[in-house]
Amino acid sequence: MAKPELPSVLSGARIHLVGIKGTGMCALAELLHRAGARITGSDVADVFYTDEILKALALPYAEGFDAANLPSDAELVVHSAAYSADSNPELAAAVRRGLPVLKYTEALGSFSGRFDSSAIAGVHGKTTTTALSGVLARAADLPARILAGSAVGDFGGRSTLSLGSRYFIAETCEYRKHFLSFRPRRIVLTSVESDHQDFFPTYESMRDAFVEFAGLLPPDGELIYCADDPGAVEVAALIAAKRGDLRLVPYGERAAGPFHIEKLAAEAERTVLRLSAFPVDFKIRVPGRHTALDAAAALALVSSLTGGLSGDRLEAAAAALESFRGSRRRAEIVGEVGGVLVMDDYGHHPTAIRTTLAGLKSFYPTRRLIVSFMSHTYTRTAALLDEFAASFADADELILHKIYASAREKYSGGVTGRTLYERAAALRPNVSYVEEPEAAAADIAARLRPGDLFLTMGAGDNWKLGRKVLESLSARSPA
């Protein structure tokens, strides 16, 4: 039986989204709405940043799940991976009525088949690379639609950017091989290493998933990959051995060709980047070598889509990179009070932690760096325990917390947040442990001094700690 697809004509199609407040689902709702579909949805009553977006678009949605929420004239139902017909009454009703039902990733894949589509993939750097690709596409006047995995300031605080309908650039997810639903003409591959151990128990299983994804490229398709990342290089070599018809385009300091990084330096709170292909220096305000690599990837992709950046387009691209403000929870500046800078970052893998902290130290060399980290998933923490413990070298002080659990995993091992604390404390000084992140707010605020940088980091909910610290600093700061 053929898998369900989005309606061939989206204009006027009645589509119901279960879990519509999720970042990806909300972004898909906006894309379908802009294509003329009539959207309804449902989700939990909790308030997310996407509530504001859905209300601005005037998309109706119910809070709470009930079979009565499913419109009588619904033609298709799309749902987030968090829900299934076994437990969600709306999906159960859709099945009873014989309606086609698509997971979010399947709907995204169906949508991608309507365009000349490019996928942004990798264990790290996907969201920033997608966001940078969007701002560069806008600077180059590309008729493209972009979908990122988080809210992007340069997209008006949304996850989507609509510039036209010829190209589609989207962040894709490797977890459970979700990206295999996507239909790419190009793939940007930022990084490949061990992660999501509940589904990919070995590095090789993760690597092979990316090789399988690259195998979806059509004849003369393009793989743009990071030559500085060993996993990405290995995937490129493996797919090249299988598919001699593909174009492989490396980028990075170790790359040969037009996207070789000739210069990479931190100067006056800017990262300065020069690539062989361009006679200009690009300046980026978001910290870190990893961000510069993401910019190189985005420049390679947009160069491919435009046939090359030069003249006014190149000048506009340079201006767009320097004005780029980052995306939500990616080196995001939460606020600054009394000379204390508070930031938040989603980094939740040892490699991302290490590169992000090194980038911040280089970018803000005079600031004392105090880091709150909350590990995400027991399986990831247990599998990479030593790597996690050693990844905080650039932090002047480190506060660790309990592990933020995931509903998707069942873990019966003995690794806890305190286990990580003990391992880290054996390697370095100035490490403390506070089980509940927000319980540390008063002590941290009292110890911070002008010139400090306080960073909440991880895929858990310790971002709330940063907000509480900022409130405390504001309360004690003179008016």
Burial label for 51, CB within 10 Å (0-12, 13-18, 19+), is: middle
CA 225 to chain CA centroid, Å, is 17
Task: Work out the end-to-end distance of the chain between its first and last CA atoms, rounded to an integer number of angstroms.
Answer: 67
The pLDDT, as a whole number, for residue 460 is: 83
The continuous run of DSSP H or E covering 383 comes out as helix 378-383
Instruction: Give the C-alpha separation, 141 to 163, whole Å.
Output: 8
The pLDDT, as a whole number, for residue 197 is: 67
CA 59 to chain CA centroid, Å, is 25
The pLDDT, as a whole number, for residue 175 is: 74
Lateral strand order in the sheet of 38-43 = 61-63, 38-43, 14-18, 76-79, 101-103
The pLDDT, as a whole number, for residue 103 is: 94
CATH homologous superfamily of 332-476 equals: Mur ligase, C-terminal domain (3.90.190.20)
* pLDDT tens string 268-305: 778 899 999 999 999 998 887 888 999 999 999 999 99
- Number of Cβ within 10 Å of residue 276's Cβ equals 13
> Under 8 Å CB-to-CB from 462, ≥6 apart: which residues?
372, 373, 374, 401, 404, 437, 456
Looking at domain 14-106, its CATH class is alpha beta
Indicate the domain borders of the chain. Answer: 14-106, 115-323, 332-476
Asked whether this chain's domains 14-106 and 332-476 adopt the same fold, the reply is no
Amino acid at site 443: D
The pLDDT, as a whole number, for residue 252 is: 98
Tens-digit pLDDT profile for the chain (479 aa)?
578 899 999 999 999 999 999 888 999 999 999 999 999 999 999 888 889 999 999 999 999 999 999 999 999 999 998 899 999 999 999 999 999 999 999 999 999 999 999 999 998 889 899 999 999 999 999 999 999 988 888 888 888 999 999 999 999 988 788 899 999 999 999 999 877 667 678 999 989 999 999 999 999 999 999 999 999 999 999 999 999 999 999 999 999 999 999 999 888 778 899 999 999 999 998 887 888 999 999 999 999 999 999 999 999 999 999 988 766 666 677 888 888 999 898 777 888 898 889 888 888 888 999 999 999 888 889 888 999 999 999 999 999 999 987 766 666 678 888 999 999 999 999 999 999 999 999 999 999 999 999 999 898 888 899 999 989 888 876 55
CATH homologous superfamily of 115-323 equals: Mur-like, catalytic domain (3.40.1190.10)
SS3 432: strand
